[in-house]
Amino acid sequence: MNRGHSLRLPALSGLLLATAFSASVHAADPGGVLLQVRLPYAGPARLEAPALHSSAALVMDATNSSVLYARRSDVPMPIASITKLMTALVVMEAGQPLDETLSIAPEDRWPGRGGVSRLLSGTQLTRGALMHLALMASENRAAHALARNYPGGVEACVAAMNAKARELGMTGAHFVEPTGLSDENVASAEDLAKLVIAAATIPAIREYSTDSYYDVRVGRRVLRFRSTDSLTSKADWDIVVQKTGYISEAGRCLVMQAVFDDRAFVIVLLNSYGKRTRVADARRVRRWVESREQTARATPAPATT
């Protein structure tokens, strides 16, 4: 259960060391530990598919490295604010101090549609607080400020994001800016499963992305920011890492790693229609997975001779 910023980090080290599909994935935690695991592509399960309303989807059992369901999972498409998960990953890997105070600047304001923000120019917050807001509340100016203060600035940060995508085997991914407000930030569901698994190895990203609210002082006021993913506040969901996204070109998107019955599953949902559809699809996936597991347990083992 994830209620607020003071709650625990999931203790799932055994479940987090999974990657996706036939490519080797490398992920380094801030301490420099290199993870490399090769997972075979198992193909969709031969069961009735979940009735999803997302145009692209992927469901993977990270515990045994198998893909349970895939729909258009290899097609690159706009990913909106799922981008911020990659932004956070490269910022964390740069080793910059999370307690350093940064300022929101005029250049952090997005010139086009969708750049609404509660962080005014001149607002001062720590790097950790900005990352918290970018991951949990999808704060666009927070994400841009993180990239602007990356060594070498925004251009270097975006270059690092693309380099990290290549390192992770995200062959269909491409980034042009750090917030996801551009529809030129694209990736496939398969790409994003690899990103989710890499991000799940970073404790701060797990904590920040799964909080349901976070209070920050802006001037004389304390502002409460809430998660863009309503599932983070649900007691019956154990979410390891998550990120939502929306622009009109991408539709409603949701990626996560969650634990059901002590097993870790990666869920990627892209271009869901309707404001609540991505959450409804996540619930459908969970019911489908749990039903699948119950069926498997109830099926007697073949007789041996």
Catalytic residues: 81, 84, 138
210 and 242 Cβ atoms separated by less than 8 Å: yes
216-226 burial by CB neighbour count: b if 16+ within 10 A, else e?
A: beeeeeeeebe
- 143 bridge partner residues: none
Cα distance between residue 155 and residue 150, in whole Å: 9
In DSSP terms, 35 is beta-bridged to: 27
Q: How far apart are CA 98 and CA 126, in angstroms?
A: 6
Q: Residue 26: how many CB atoms within 10 A of its CB?
A: 14
User: Tokens 């229609």, residue?
Assistant: 273
Of the candidates 240, 247, 168, which has an alpha carbon nearest to the alpha carbon of residue 209?
240
Rg (CA), the chain: 19
Beta bridge partners of residue 54, listed in sequence order: 272
Torsion angle, CA of 96/100/105/107, rounded to 10 degrees?
Answer: 0
Buried b (16+ CB within 10 A) or exposed e, 80-113: bbbbbbbbbbbbbbbeeebeeebebeeebebeee
Torsion over CA: 177, 276, 195, 215 (sign): positive
The helix-helix angle for 127-136 and 83-93 (nearest 10°) equals 160
Q: Answer whether 175's CB lies under 8 Å from 158's CB.
A: yes
